Amino acid sequence: MKKSVEILGLPVISITEGRELGMSKTLLIDARNGKVAAITIEDEDWYRGVKLIPYESVIAIGDDAVTITNSENILKLDEAADYENLLDENIRIIETKAITKNGTIQGKISELYIGEDGRIEKCEITAPDGTTSEILTDQISIFGKQVTVIDPDGEKKTEFIGSAAREPAPEPAPAPAPEPAPAPEPEPVSVPEPEPVPEPVPEPEPEPEPAPVAETPQPQAAPAPAAKPEIKEAPKAAFPAKPAPKAAPKAAPAEPAKQATEKSTDDRHRRYLLGKKAARTIKMDNGIVIVEAGADITEEVLQKAKLANKIIELSMNVQ
């Protein structure tokens, strides 16, 4: 198991490309299933939008890095439609109040313990007096945005985990009822007992003969046709290359498409951020405050954040 603090802030490494792709930023929680769905990352292009790694794409989380297969495992915001609801819910669990169903506050959730499959195995609770205790996920009924509800019935169920094999001993199977003794004959007439008929022994089924393995035709001859296009294209390269400038107009539509993508990303950020509150104070690089911690995010705040390239930082620090 790993603590959340041991996962965040680690470099993300592609083991097939041999390069660093960014830093792990936050955990995207799937509260309904009690697991980590993805890890958001921050890279040199963070201002273009949120990027995340599905947890099932993570190969390992070590002491010094998070490893993935390659950069294709990283999803941009417009490619992560399956995770959009989780991004909107923005449930962090840590810093939520831990309260029982009967209304007793136990403290605050101060840490999460994550299993290899991404499941939240247990939570650490810090009481008002500073003492800490741990509670298994099986004892938690709801992971909420502001409150984590502890189920007392879950405690009883959890106590039986691991002891079920020895405490509730299985009931012994009932012994077969003895066959009733034959009633005595009125006169001792000796009747020869019939010889027991041997039960027919089922003949062993003949083992199925192994199906002949069809030899796979060798595909050595397949590459031969590939050489034909090279012969045909060679003479084409010898002719004047005047048609080459025609490729330039094709690149023109890329600019509107890029602008449309950026506008779609800006609209998505706007819908996600408007009406929420800033979790901490966001400042421009020159120190000017864009929004104070706890203040509402308005159109004016979004405009300032966009001009200062702070949209992603703002989207990762809302409540």
pLDDT digits (tens, 9 = 90+) for 24-33: 999 999 999 9
Q: Residue 230: helix, strand or coil by DSSP?
A: helix
pLDDT: which is higher, 195 or 111: 111
Q: Per-residue confidence at 182, pLDDT binned at 50, 70, 90?
A: low
CA 193, CA 253: separation in Å to the nearest integer? 101
| Residue 183: per-residue pLDDT | 54
Is the pLDDT reported for residue 224 higher than 80? no
Q: Per-residue confidence at 77, pLDDT binned at 50, 70, 90?
A: confident
Residues linked to residue 36 through DSSP beta bridges, in sequence order: 29
Burial class of residue 268, CB neighbours in 10 A (0-12, 13-18, 19+): middle
The per-residue b/e assignment along 65-78, b for 16 or more CB within 10 angstroms, e otherwise, is ebebeeeebbbebe
Output the average pLDDT for the chain.
Answer: 75
C-beta of residue 14 within 8 angstroms of C-beta of residue 70: yes
Instruction: Tell me the percentage of the chain whose pLDDT exceeds 90.
Output: 36
DSSP 56-118: GGEEEE-SS-EEES-GGG-EEGGG-GGGHHHHHH----TT-EEEETTS-EEEEEEEEEE-TTS
| Residue 157: per-residue pLDDT | 38
The per-residue b/e assignment along 30-55, b for 16 or more CB within 10 angstroms, e otherwise, is bbeebbbbbbbbbeeebebbbbbbbb
| Residue 166: per-residue pLDDT | 35
Q: Taking residues 153-170, what's their average pLDDT?
A: 40
| Residue 213: per-residue pLDDT | 46
**The whole model's pTM is what?**
0.47
C-beta of residue 261 within 8 angstroms of C-beta of residue 78: yes
Angle at 146 between CA 161 and CA 310, to 5 degrees: 120
Of 8-17, 106-115, 192-201, minimum mean pLDDT range? 192-201
Q: How many other CB atoms are found less than 10 A from the CB of residue 297?
A: 22
Q: Among 109-123, 161-175, 274-288, which range has the highest average pLDDT? A: 109-123
CA 259, CA 261: separation in Å to the nearest integer? 5
| Residue 185: per-residue pLDDT | 57
Is the pLDDT reported for residue 240 higher than 80? no
CA 14, CA 18: separation in Å to the nearest integer? 6
Structure tokens of 69?
């297969």
| Residue 108: per-residue pLDDT | 95
Q: Among 66-70, 99-103, 235-239, which range has the highest average pLDDT? A: 66-70
